[in-house]
Amino acid sequence: MSDPGKLSIVGESSLPGGIYGQVKVVGTLFLSGKLESQELKVVGTLDSEDDIFCSGMNVLGTAKLRNLKVRNYLHVVGTTTVQEINAEKVSVSGELTAEDKIECGHLEVKGLVRAGNFLGADTLSIKSRYTSRVKDAGGKEIRVRGRLFSKKIVFSAGTVEFDTIDIENTKASVVRGKHVTLGKNCSVDLVEYSDTLERHPGARIGTSVKI
């Protein structure tokens, strides 16, 4: 990786992958091989058939990817579709869809996320007007908030399993944690908690069990 260069795509281009210091896509780029970059910025369209490794990535346009590994940060303002993603810090103001799973240290959602399988995060924060949907979610801490006075569900999942859970406007089959707080507009079939459970009068619980 000696003397990696810079690559800027303004029109339409294809690339068999490679190693670069910076990649900026303003036009349309089709990737057929693995790409490694320190910094990757997508303002236009990026379509990749292989894996991407980078230190930091910004998506203001549209990215359709295979597997994505980001050592530091991923900012999604536009739309990103990926098979699987692993990153340290992710912020989503647009749309992030993983056909399989999302694994990250910290995830902040102001737009929406989808995960066909699992969403794992040490800390997950959702504050949005849109509905994020995942099969299952787990980690250390989750906080979910909807818009003021809105009853719209902003997070829907099968199982939500975190150490500390503080959620509103959420629908789930199972919520499991040490400290569980269910706020307004929550609908949960089964709550399992080991230390504390607090619930808003407007939260619906099918069954609660202390374990």
pLDDT higher than threshold 70 for residue 131: yes
pLDDT higher than threshold 90 for residue 147: no
pLDDT higher than threshold 90 for residue 3: no
**d(Cα 188, Cα 186) in Å, to the nearest integer?**
6
Q: Rounded to 5 degrees, what are φ and ψ at 101?
A: -145, 160
pLDDT in tens, 77-126: 999 999 999 999 999 999 999 999 999 999 999 999 999 999 999 999 99
| pLDDT value of position 4 | 59
Structure tokens at 17: 């992958």
Q: What share of the chain is helix, strand, coil (3-state, %, to 5)?
A: 0, 75, 25
Residue 150 confidence class, pLDDT cut points 50, 70, 90:
confident
Average pLDDT over residues 36-60: 97
pLDDT in tens, 159-209: 999 999 999 999 999 999 999 999 999 999 999 999 999 999 999 999 999
Residue 144 confidence class, pLDDT cut points 50, 70, 90:
very high
pLDDT higher than threshold 70 for residue 41: yes
